[in-house]
Amino acid sequence: MSRLLLLRQEGYDRHELDSATRKIFEAFDAPSFIRPGASVLLKVNLVAGHPPERRATTDPAVVRSVTERVLELGAHPVIADSPGIEPFRSVAEKSGLAAIARELGIPCLELTDSTPLPTTPDSAFKKVEVSRLVLESDVIINLPKMKTHGQMLLTLGVKNLFGCIVGQRKAEWHYNVGLDCNAFAGLLLELYLSIAPHLTIMDGVIGMDGTGPTSGNPYPFGLLAAAQDALALDFQLARMMGVRLEDFPLWRVAVARNLPQCELSSQVTGDFPQDHVFPGVKVPLLRGLNLLPRLPFKAFWDSLMASRPVHVPELCIDCGRCEAVCAAKALKHRNRRLTFDYTRCIRCYCCHEMCPVRAIEFRESFLMRLMRLLRGTRS
Ligand code: SF4
Ligand code: SF4
């Protein structure tokens, strides 16, 4: 049975965070797997270069506290991630994590050197590569941010590991799996099962709802959550965020693989009530939800139902990141004008995710609006 620890954490006060991370390390007996001298990869969320107040990246206060716990055990922590398109140094500086690394005298590294990942026997994905550092670290501590996500509904512990894929190869994977978000969820699940982080500590102190993972609104969940089983933790948090699990692609692929986490039988401890549902969390329901898997010609229906990315020219700064990240080559930018080719667009929403100034929004399809009306779901 998986164990989850949910702790109240109203803000980023250093002493309170230290108390919380000590409880987490004790609850999961961290000294049993973080040995003196061990190399410990702290897989943070550095999706793009935003300040901590944007709530898109793992907060530096959480990273600092976890790093100090690792140092106390005599191990060698490294803060690392692979951002989508922006240069790593710029992202690390803007997020405040480079400063934390300097202060504590530890490396803050870009995940590079793409290397084949040994996958599970049941895997449909045989050619996945991740950064060599992920494979060579003795211990992986996963430090995600609790957020909503345009394509996958939520980005929590499992989705955070997608950053172990190096740079633009992430966009290539989006292109490879195409419109089918269940296939993408299958890839995420495979990454999680193969990388198998030793511990996940979720920064849900102030997360994000709305059009996440980079352009939503700060949401004060007031929660620091931890587990060795990130999948079980994700399902618990999804329910607390008010998401129907059938709408969560990760849940659907876990059910299809008959994984034990779908029994929802985790032992939950901590001072945060496990049956709490955060009020009014806005989840971007942009895709065809769980209706689609039961339909024939799923990709066709998905293309009709999925929301389209649209440009907001008055906000555009003409940086070109949207075009650079689009593996489907479905958009072009010129003189603050974007042209989308929706017949090529795979609705991965990477352009939205990488736009630094919220100049790409979504336009809901007629079918999606109709379905939402029938189901009475909110956007
Ligand atoms: S236009 Fe945007 S949503 Fe469409 S494929 Fe390109 S990056 Fe993905
Ligand atoms: S839409 Fe956003 S990402 Fe694209 S060029 Fe404009 S500012 Fe840059």
The band of 286, judged by pLDDT with boundaries at 50, 70 and 90, is: low
- The verdict on 137 and 196 lying in the same domain is yes
What does the pLDDT look like over 307-353, one tens digit per residue?
A: 899 999 999 999 999 999 999 999 999 999 999 999 999 989 999 99
Segments in 30-147 forming alpha helices (H): 60-72, 88-95, 97-104, 132-136
The set of residues, in sequence order, having a beta carbon less than 8 Å from that of 360 and lying 6+ positions away, is: 309, 310, 311, 312, 322, 338, 351, 352
pLDDT of residue 302: 65
**Is the shortest distance between the CB of 346 and ligand 1 below 6 Å?**
yes
For atom 4 of ligand 1, the residue with the nearest CA is 345
In this structure, the answer to whether residues 29 and 86 fall within a common structural domain is yes
Ligand 2: which atom is nearest the Cα of residue 321? 3
pLDDT above 70 covers what percent of the chain? 93
Mean pLDDT of the chain: 93
pLDDT-based confidence at 306, cuts 50/70/90? Answer: confident
Bridge-partner residues for 3, per DSSP?
267
> What CATH number should be reported for the domain holding residue 213?
3.40.50.11440
What is the spatial distance between Cα 291 and Cα 302, in angstroms, rounded to a whole number?
A: 10
Same domain, 142 and 254: yes
Residue 201 lies in a domain: yes
**Among candidate residues 234, 269, 304, the one where a domain is terminated:** 269
User: What is the tally of structural domains in the chain?
Assistant: 2
pLDDT at 375: 67
CA of 10 to the centre of ligand 2 (A): 34
Distance between CA atoms of 157 and 162, rounded to whole angstroms? 10
116 and 240 share one domain: yes
Q: Which pairing describes strands 129-131 and 114-116: parallel, antiparallel, or unpaired?
A: antiparallel
Asked whether residue 112 falls in the same domain as residue 167, the answer is yes
Which of 47, 211, 215, 317, when mutated, tests ligand 2's pocket best, judged by the most ligand atoms within 8 Å of its CB?
317
Q: For the segment 161-196, what is each residue's pLDDT rounded down to a tens digit?
A: 999 999 989 999 999 888 788 899 999 999 999 999
* CB under 8 A, 24+ apart: contacts of 99-106: 99/60, 100/60, 100/63, 100/64, 100/67, 103/64, 104/64, 104/67, 104/68, 104/71, 106/67, 106/71, 106/76, 106/77, 106/78, 106/79
Domain containing 367: what range?
A: 289-375
At 202-234, the pLDDT tens digits run 999 999 999 999 999 999 999 999 999 999 999
Question: Both 238 and 299 in a single domain?
Answer: no
Contacts of 368 (CB under 8 A, 6+ apart): 285, 286, 288, 305, 306, 307
pLDDT surpassing 60 at residue 293: no
Question: Residue 365: what pLDDT?
Answer: 78
Same structural domain, 295 and 172: no
Pocket test for ligand 2, best of 314, 360, 361, 362 (most atoms within 8 A of CB): 360
Instruction: Reduce the DSSP state of residue 363 to 3 states and report it.
Output: strand
